[in-house]
Amino acid sequence: MAGKIKEIQASEFKKEVLGKKRAVVDFYSTECPPCEALASKYESLSTLYGDDITFVKIFRQGNRDLAAELDVSSSPTLLFYQDGRLSGPKLSGGIKRSEIMKGLDALIPEDRAAEIHGSIKPVVTNCDVAVLGGGPAGLTAGIYLAQAHLNTILIDTALPGGYVATTHQVSNYPGFIEPQPGFMLSHFMGEQAKANGVEFRSAVEVSKIDLKNKSILVDGFETIEAKKIVIATGSRPRPLNVPGEKEYQGQGISYCATCDGKYYDDKEIVVIGGGNSSIEESLFLSKFASKITIVHQFDTLQANKEAQKKIFADKKIKFMFEHEPREFKKYGNMDMGVVVENLKTGETTEIRTNGIFVFVGFIPNLEMFNDEMELDQWGYLKTGENMQTNIPGVFAAGDVRTKAFRQITTAVADGTIAAITISKELT
């Protein structure tokens, strides 16, 4: 193991962690993409902080009892210790370098932390193509680019996979007879990209992007300089901007049925929205909930006919057409309220429920770009047929660009077209 990291077993925990003045522990697993994403950050930070803090790794599956005792239920999980006591945050999932540094800094004196920060040397990495975003569009672009022997770096502010990784089941991606769990599909795409030689920068902070000069600052110290850039940053749920929405996000209000549906076994749910994703996600939620009320602003659903047929046949699902949410309220754990307005009469009523799911459309992830980019009326990136944007050498693919239909197949098609165009230009 490179860096200043010691791999230990549960039997050594007392001596190597609790017995040290300062320690950080990484509980990892094998075949764990977030653990792989963390490994290089942990290693480079152990070189920086290793003289002051003991860096330890523990294989979670091989040390289950210790993990359970410490309430570590997922990999990777980072725990920070000072004088034998748990100190600072418990980090898990797609852990960012800055989050780890914050935890490490809290263990040492301020001036020593400043000294370490000052010793970080900027790095410049050159490549042929930098792909921003590791959803289906970015991963497909990466696969094609790497197969064309172009040195490709894929940068994602989260863990690669994009929306597919959180989609319960994908039944319309060609090549599979049975519906596929979304996380498996995205996992295979990521592994295929890796196997073909795409280099990943996962769960990183992207602080500066200069599209004209093709340079991207990652984690504050690595500048990636490329000949071409593919923007495949996708889109995110559109907020309703209703009082209570921000406050109770993740505490009763959810945007992801796959992630949160399991908490609503035999509970009541209100769903906001009547388009495709709302109806498909409500059908999924119906597996858990005892009752679902769909609040929709129009007098008919906008979802496809097949989904409508299924939802109208589901006895657990009720509809409030021509209603809009005006306020979200929270009364206690799993006790929420939605104030809705009847758009015909102006009358407001409150629905008491256990949880609220919002599915009302998406906005493109483009805030971090300062260059002048040509956008459509909804703020999506305009491209030509070859996915070229108005900035020479910059391409866009997937949900972030203007198009009629946003699906996995259309995202992978965009990624393919952008990559083939680039490989023809660069060879």
Ligand X SMILES: Cc1cc2nc3c(=O)[nH]c(=O)nc-3n(C[C@H](O)[C@H](O)[C@H](O)COP(=O)(O)OP(=O)(O)OC[C@H]3O[C@@H](n4cnc5c(N)ncnc54)[C@H](O)[C@@H]3O)c2cc1C
Which residues carry out catalysis? 256, 259-260
Q: Is 142 in the site for ligand X (CB under 6 A)?
A: no
Structure tokens that stand for 16 in this block = 């190597």
Binding mask 214-233 for ligand X (x = CB under 6 A): ------------------xx
Residues whose CB falls within 8 Å of the CB of residue 85, separated by 6 or more in sequence, listed in order: none
Q: How many chain residues bind ligand X (CB under 6 A)?
A: 34
- Quick one: which of 33, 34, 162, 274 contacts ligand X (CB under 6 A)? 162
- Quick one: which of 33, 34, 190, 234 contacts ligand X (CB under 6 A)? 234
Quote the least distance from Cβ 110 to ligand X, whole Å.
31
Q: Which stretch binds ligand X (CB under 6 A): 1-9, 76-84, 136-144, 267-275?
A: 136-144
DSSP string, 297-312: SSSS--S-HHHHHHHH
In this structure, what are the phi and psi dihedrals at residue 325, rounded to the nearest 5 degrees? -70, 140
Binding mask 352-381 for ligand X (x = CB under 6 A): -------------x--x-------------
Residues whose CB falls within 8 Å of the CB of residue 294, separated by 6 or more in sequence, listed in order: 270, 271, 273, 274, 278, 279, 282, 311, 317, 318, 319, 320
Residues whose CB falls within 8 Å of the CB of residue 386, separated by 6 or more in sequence, listed in order: 395, 417, 418, 421
- Quick one: which of 100, 116, 132, 148 contacts ligand X (CB under 6 A)? 132
Closest CA to 401 of 72, 133, 218, 179: 133
Binders in 47-86 for ligand X, by CB under 6 A: none
45 or 130: whose CB is closer to ligand X?
130
Q: Is 129 in the site for ligand X (CB under 6 A)?
A: no
- Quick one: which of 16, 26, 128, 156 contacts ligand X (CB under 6 A)? 156
Q: Is 206 in the site for ligand X (CB under 6 A)?
A: yes
Q: Which stretch binds ligand X (CB under 6 A): 112-120, 149-157, 306-314, 386-394?
A: 149-157
Its sign, for the CA torsion 397, 398, 399, 401, is: positive
Closest CA to 297 of 363, 241, 362, 343: 343
Residues whose CB falls within 8 Å of the CB of residue 343, separated by 6 or more in sequence, listed in order: 297, 322, 323, 324
Quote the least distance from Cβ 399 to ligand X, whole Å.
4
Binders in 377-406 for ligand X, by CB under 6 A: 398-400, 406
Q: Is 138 in the site for ligand X (CB under 6 A)?
A: yes
Residues whose CB falls within 8 Å of the CB of residue 272, separated by 6 or more in sequence, listed in order: 240, 278, 295, 296, 325, 338, 356, 357, 358, 359, 360
Q: Is 202 in the site for ligand X (CB under 6 A)?
A: no
Contact status, residue 344 vs residue 362, Cβ threshold 8 Å: no
108 or 206: whose CB is closer to ligand X?
206
- Quick one: which of 158, 189, 253, 358 contacts ligand X (CB under 6 A)? 158
- Quick one: which of 33, 133, 190, 274 contacts ligand X (CB under 6 A)? 133
Give residue 306's identity as a one-letter amino acid code: E
d(CA 409, CA 172): 8
Phi-psi region of 162 (alpha: psi -120 to 50; beta: other; left: phi over 0): left
Structure tokens that stand for 366 in this block = 């483009």
Contact status, residue 216 vs residue 205, Cβ threshold 8 Å: no
Q: Which stretch binds ligand X (CB under 6 A): 13-21, 162-170, 260-268, 317-325?
A: 162-170
Q: Is 274 in the site for ligand X (CB under 6 A)?
A: no
63 or 254: whose CB is closer to ligand X?
254
Give residue 173's identity as a one-letter amino acid code: Y
Quote the least distance from Cβ 213 to ligand X, whole Å.
17
- Quick one: which of 46, 75, 180, 277 contacts ligand X (CB under 6 A)? 277
Beta pairing class for 85-86 and 206-210: unpaired
- Quick one: which of 263, 409, 424, 425 contacts ligand X (CB under 6 A)? 409
SS3 of 114-137: the string is: HHHHHCCCCEEEEEEEEEECCCHH
Quote the least distance from Cβ 46 to ligand X, whole Å.
26
3-state DSSP assignment of residue 174? coil
- Quick one: which of 91, 311, 408, 422 contacts ligand X (CB under 6 A)? 408
23 or 165: whose CB is closer to ligand X?
165
12 or 199: whose CB is closer to ligand X?
199
Residues whose CB falls within 8 Å of the CB of residue 94, separated by 6 or more in sequence, listed in order: 34, 37, 158, 159, 202, 203
The residues binding ligand X (CB under 6 A) are 132-138, 155-158, 160, 162-164, 167, 170, 172, 206, 232-234, 277, 281, 365, 368, 398-400, 406-409, 411
